Homo-oligomer: A and B are copies of this chain.
């Protein structure tokens, strides 16, 4: 997605070899109009796949999932990172290793929101090692539902998680794939 690549070049900050800061439009601060453009693009990529739910993980995946779900006319569901007193006891869970925090945490979704009749599109803002997405796939499969595919805004191609998912035959559509980056230099995959 050309407009996303341009926004990354214009507003992104390469903090280290592996961390790209896009807090000005994709997390912390959200650009709602641009979020909708990305949602529409995701819809156009998966519109023929019978998607019944868009699934993401809190917190920064929520905005892009909501924007995509708006065009699919389906609910967006987000996995929570820990059990709260508001989540029902009947939950689907998976363990995820955090890349930025270097910890392992449990994600969960109430089983009433993903069922065996669902065809689920998994959406997130970032794809690095793919740990969060693998947790979401595990949740969809444990519900007996079907994974329609995965779409992320920004894939850090050099961290390998995306290609590992593609290697497993999962349809993954990233709106922008960064092949390499360093201060002042971001190269996209063609």
Contact = CB atoms under 8 A, between A and B. Distances in A.
A30 B69 contact: yes
Interface in A31-68: 31-33, 35-36, 58-59, 62-63, 65-67
Copies in the complex: 2
A46 B66 CA distance: 23
Interface residues of A, number: 42
Nearest to A76: B30
Contact of A85 (B19, B62, B78, B84): B19
A66 B63 contact: yes
Contacts of A76: 29-30, 32, 63
A33 B76 CA distance: 10
Given A28-B78, A28-B110, A32-B74, 20 more contacts: A15-B86, A21-B86, A23-B86, A24-B112, A25-B75, A27-B86, A28-B113, A29-B110, A29-B113, A30-B65, A30-B75, A32-B75, A32-B76, A58-B58, A59-B59, A59-B78, A62-B62, A62-B63, A66-B66, A66-B67
